[in-house]
């Protein structure tokens, strides 16, 4: 596993956050870990944006609107796959 020179936000890497992001957003995660993910999403713009995208999709489904933009779902899945392959997000 690749180590970064800096401590990741919330003590979790983007990879770790990506693995549990959906569980977190669905509320299927313990409070301690949820707090760390929250911190990560707060400090990591990229993961924060992905979380927002996912929440928007969920809100759309909950509102039973006719169409969920397929590209949003594709984008989220792609993001998860990239993280699963251990790719790090671009540094600013």
- Would you state the structure tokens that stand for residue 50, as one six-digit string? 């992905």
- Which residue lies nearer to Zn ion by CB, 60 or 89? 89
Query: Is the separation of the CB atoms in 39 and 47 below 8 Å?
Result: no
Site for Zn ion contains 21 (CB under 5 A): no
**String marking each residue 25-64 x if it binds Zn ion according to CB under 5 A:** -------------------x--x-----------------
CA 8/CA 10 separation, integer angstroms = 6
Kindly determine how many residues on this chain lie close enough to bind Zn ion according to the rule CB under 5 A. Answer: 3
Q: Give the nearest distance from C-beta 30 to Zn ion in angstroms.
A: 20
CA 92/CA 86 separation, integer angstroms = 18
């Amino acid at each position: 596993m690749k180590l970064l020179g800096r401590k990741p936000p919330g003590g979790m890497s983007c990879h770790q956050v990506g693995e549990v992001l959906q569980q977190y957003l669905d509320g299927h995660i313990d409070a301690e870990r949820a707090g760390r993910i929250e911190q990560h999403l707060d400090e990591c713009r990229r993961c924060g944006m992905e979380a927002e995208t996912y929440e928007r999709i969920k809100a759309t489904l909950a509102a039973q609107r006719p169409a969920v933009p397929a590209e949003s779902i594709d984008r989220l899945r792609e993001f998860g796959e990239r993280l699963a392959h251990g790719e790090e997000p671009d540094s600013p």
